[in-house]
């Protein structure tokens, strides 16, 4: 398939989970000799060093995704890509409108990374609440919806009335060989030095979805039984509120809000336990990434993803959402009775970028040799 033109339509490039998925797919397509373009609604502050050097970047220079419509129409008419990936979900509407207006024959593969019904219920944003309504009118212009888990697929079919034959479940492309070198890099953090107490690690945006208050309460309980540290990789608008809660729970001195990092893998490879405390997820990339790094994993059994990744508890512990007592007990068990690292790595490395990249193209009728 050398010469196939593959485009990725994203709002911007902030280095989050969706962007890592896009990069992992792009690396595979570049290796197969395809032409890869990242089309960004706005590129303010793009960390271009995080993108493969052979990827071309097109900045549509829009203030918001909604305002990128006319520029995207021109792009489709002028450059005529063969395939276009779109994420997160509010970009789908703009891409489908642009395809309709431009009369482009581009094959669209729309990445659905969260439950549509949960977003409608929990979000006050118009783009989230209107998504299933608009999608019912525009779904005919979509070639394939790529749901990141069985739970997301079922919800999409129910909430947006998308025909099941248009939905393909493809687990996110997590593992690629380049991660090996990133895992081996040193961690510039004193708590990861030899002789320090065990480090509990969490990674994700500081937003309601991740339910860090439950993790903080569990950590507070754990500290009565064990000397431990908690490191959180991520940024977000709830930072002041979470810092206040940490002070109230008297855990601030053992908690580090480390912020965003382009290499979470070296942290994952050296932590004692990786914890996901989310109220909901689409797939939970970080759970699979932590497994690939050989980390012990404790996760809430939220909708959806963790149960599928951990094979119903075979590769890590699952606890009820919002239950800080169960979460503390599970972390303690993971510390005292760890699973074999090779066993965990094998599971995490089954979510390969090469496999997902082929499944994405297969979903839109393109078969790789």
Q: What is the pLDDT of residues 271-283, one digit of tens each?
A: 999 999 999 998 8
Summarised one tens digit per residue, pLDDT across range 60-114 is 999 888 899 999 999 999 999 999 999 988 899 999 999 999 999 999 999 998 8
Higher pLDDT, 335 or 63: 335
pLDDT at 38 over 90: yes
Q: Do the domains 178-348 and 5-173+352-363 match in fold?
A: yes
Which residues lie closer than 8 Å to 202 by C-beta, 6 or more apart?
Answer: 210, 212, 215, 230, 231, 232, 233, 234, 274, 275, 276, 277
Summarised one tens digit per residue, pLDDT across range 295-332 is 999 999 998 889 999 999 999 999 999 999 999 999 99
Where do we find the tokens 């911007």? Answer: 12
The pLDDT score that the predictor gives to residue 89 is 87
Classified as helix, coil or strand, 346 is helix
Confidence of residue 334 (pLDDT cuts 50, 70, 90): very high
Q: DSSP label at 106?
A: P
pTM strictly above 0.85: no
Q: Phi first, then psi: what are they for 273, rounded to 5°? A: -145, 135
Note the helical H segments in the chain: 17-31, 69-79, 89-102, 116-122, 126-138, 150-160, 178-184, 212-223, 239-248, 265-270, 285-292, 306-309, 324-336, 341-348, 353-363
- CATH superfamily assigned to domain 5-173+352-363: Glycogen Phosphorylase B; (3.40.50.2000)
Per-domain residue ranges of the chain: 5-173+352-363, 178-348
Higher pLDDT, 48 or 83: 83
CATH topology of domain 178-348: Rossmann fold (3.40.50)
Which residues lie closer than 8 Å to 127 by C-beta, 6 or more apart?
Answer: 65, 66, 90, 93
The pLDDT score that the predictor gives to residue 304 is 86
The pLDDT score that the predictor gives to residue 15 is 65
Tell which residue, 189, 179, 183, has the closest CA to residue 258.
189
């Amino acid at each position: 398939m050398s010469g196939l033109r593959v485009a990725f339509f994203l709002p911007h490039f902030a280095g989050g989970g969706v962007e890592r998925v896009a990069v992992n797919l792009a690396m595979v397509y570049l290796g197969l000799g395809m032409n890869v373009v990242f089309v960004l609604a706005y590129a303010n502050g793009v960390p271009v060093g995080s993108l493969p050097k052979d990827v071309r970047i097109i900045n549509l220079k829009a203030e918001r995704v909604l305002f990128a419509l006319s520029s995207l129409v021109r792009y489709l008419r002028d450059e005529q890509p063969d395939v276009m990936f779109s994420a997160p979900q509010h970009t789908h509407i703009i891409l489908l409108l642009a395809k309709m207006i431009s009369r482009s024959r581009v094959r669209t593969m729309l990445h659905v990374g969260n439950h549509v019904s949960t977003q409608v219920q929990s979000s006050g944003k118009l783009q989230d609440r209107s998504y299933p309504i608009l999608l019912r009118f525009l779904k005919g212009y979509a070639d394939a919806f790529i749901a990141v888990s069985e739970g997301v697929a079922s919800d999409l079919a129910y909430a947006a009335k998308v025909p099941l034959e248009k939905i393909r479940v493809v687990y996110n492309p997590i593992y690629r060989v380049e991660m090996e070198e990133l895992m081996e890099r040193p961690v510039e953090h004193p708590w990861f030095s030899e002789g320090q107490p065990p480090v509990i690690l969490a990674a994700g945006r500081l937003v309601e979805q991740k339910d860090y208050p439950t993790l903080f309460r569990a950590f507070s309980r754990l500290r009565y039984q064990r000397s431990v540290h908690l490191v959180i990789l991520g940024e977000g608008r709830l930072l002041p509120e979470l810092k206040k809660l940490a002070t109230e729970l008297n855990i601030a001195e053992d908690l580090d809000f480390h912020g965003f990092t382009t290499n979470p893998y070296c942290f994952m490879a050296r932590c004692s336990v990786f914890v996901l405390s989310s109220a909901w997820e689409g797939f939970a990339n970080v759970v699979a990434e932590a497994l690939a790094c050989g980390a012990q994993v404790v996760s809430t059994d939220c909708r959806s993803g963790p149960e599928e990744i951990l094979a119903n508890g075979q590769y890590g512990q699952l606890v009820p959402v919002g239950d800080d007592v169960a979460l503390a007990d599970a972390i303690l068990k993971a510390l005292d009775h760890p699973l074999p690292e090779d066993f965990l790595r094998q599971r995490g490395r089954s979510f390969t970028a090469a496999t997902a990249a082929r499944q994405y193209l297969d979903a839109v009728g393109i078969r790789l040799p």
